[in-house]
């Protein structure tokens, strides 16, 4: 079965010094680069938000970053503004071997809906097109790395299993935001869904 490495959101804003920095986010770059050669395809995802994106706390007067609101599609954490389309912080970490990628898939570009998963926006219905791409290339076995373990990586891996792919998360090549215990909750959700944690 053909295999793909799916590298989630290895962008400057998720690395130390960025606008939504994940502790140690930059430490995993060498491990991700080293994994790339072992796969039939490498896909990078890129969080890509308009400045008026509904997931940004500063677009909700009075709302604090990391608080939660209800959106039509369910609960939504309000984040510091990050990965704004075309900004430096939306770029990939310069150490990442982005030249190795076959496909870059952008997500979160609709102002009214967030997108953690590489497959679906947070309504679990609006597709990014990644599943069709992988099926067209007869790729059935997916390995996930990148940021953040407990949001975009976990949501992507769980959706992958639901879509019929095999999914493995290489935990040493991820780092978590860990908001109110979200790291352990994500591990449990992935385990229950049938994601292999390696
Ligand atoms: C992410 C929060 C907001 C992620 C993206 O990549 O995990 N988290 N946008
Ligand atoms: Zn985002």
Strand locations in 38-195 (E): 41-47, 68-71, 74-77, 103-107, 139-147, 166-175
- Across the range 108-119, mean pLDDT stands at 97
**Between β-strands 74-77 and 68-71, what pairing exists: parallel, antiparallel or unpaired?**
antiparallel
Predicted local confidence at residue 76, as pLDDT: 95
Among protein residues, the one with the nearest Cα to ligand 1's atom 1 is 152
Predicted local confidence at residue 7, as pLDDT: 98
- Across the range 102-115, mean pLDDT stands at 97
Q: pLDDT confidence of 38, banded at 50, 70, 90? A: very high
Predicted local confidence at residue 190, as pLDDT: 98
Ligand nearest to the CA of 177: 1
Predicted local confidence at residue 97, as pLDDT: 98
ipTM above 0.90, yes or no: yes
For residue 74, CA distances in Å to 27, 68, 89, 105 come to 33, 10, 27, 24
- Give the pLDDT confidence of 90-102 residue by residue, as tens digits: 999 999 999 999 9
Q: pLDDT confidence of 168, banded at 50, 70, 90? A: very high
Q: pLDDT confidence of 56, banded at 50, 70, 90? A: very high
Q: Hunting for tokens 């790729």 — which residue is that?
A: 139
For residue 149, what is the DSSP state? I
For ligand 1, is residue 130 a contact (CB within 6 Å)?
A: no
Mean pLDDT of the chain: 97
Predicted local confidence at residue 34, as pLDDT: 98
For ligand 1, is residue 47 a contact (CB within 6 Å)?
A: yes
15 is catalytic: no
% of the chain surpassing 70 pLDDT: 100
Domains of the chain: 2-49+88-197 (3.40.50.850)
CA 99 to chain centre: 19
% of the chain surpassing 90 pLDDT: 100
Residue from 11, 12, 20, 185 to probe ligand 1 pocket by mutation (most atoms less than 8 Å from CB): 20
Ligand nearest to the CA of 176: 1
pTM over 0.80: yes
Choose, from 26, 83, 107, 114, the residue flagged as catalytic: 107
Ligand nearest to the CA of 76: 1
Residue from 7, 8, 9, 185 to probe ligand 1 pocket by mutation (most atoms less than 8 Å from CB): 9
- Give the pLDDT confidence of 68-78 residue by residue, as tens digits: 999 999 999 99
For ligand 1, is residue 39 a contact (CB within 6 Å)?
A: no
For ligand 1, is residue 152 a contact (CB within 6 Å)?
A: yes
Strand locations in 58-130 (E): 68-71, 74-77, 103-107
Predicted local confidence at residue 109, as pLDDT: 98
Q: Which phi and psi angles does 147 have, rounded to 5°? A: -125, 145
């Amino acid at each position: 079965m053909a295999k793909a490495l799916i590298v989630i959101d290895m962008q400057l804003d998720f690395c130390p010094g960025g606008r939504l920095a994940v502790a140690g986010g930059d430490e995993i770059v060498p491990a991700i680069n080293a994994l790339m050669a072992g796969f039939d395809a490498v896909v990078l995802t890129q969080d890509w938000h308009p400045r008026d994106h509904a997931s940004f706390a500063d677009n909700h007067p009075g709302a604090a970053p990391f608080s939660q609101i209800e959106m039509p599609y369910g609960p939504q954490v309000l984040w510091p503004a990050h990965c704004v389309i075309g900004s430096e912080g939306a770029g990939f970490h310069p150490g990442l071997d982005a030249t190795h990628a076959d496909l870059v898939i952008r997500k979160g570009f609709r102002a009214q809906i967030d997108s953690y998963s590489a497959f679906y926006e947070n309504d679990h219905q609006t597709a990014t097109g990644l599943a069709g791409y992988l099926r067209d290339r007869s790729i059935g076995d997916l390995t996930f790395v990148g940021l953040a373990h407990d949001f975009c990586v976990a949501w992507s891996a769980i959706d992958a299993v639901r879509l019929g792919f095999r999914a493995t998360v290489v935990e040493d090549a991820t780092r978590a935001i860990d908001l109110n215990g979200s790291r352990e909750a994500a591990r449990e959700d992935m385990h229950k869904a049938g994601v292999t944690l390696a």
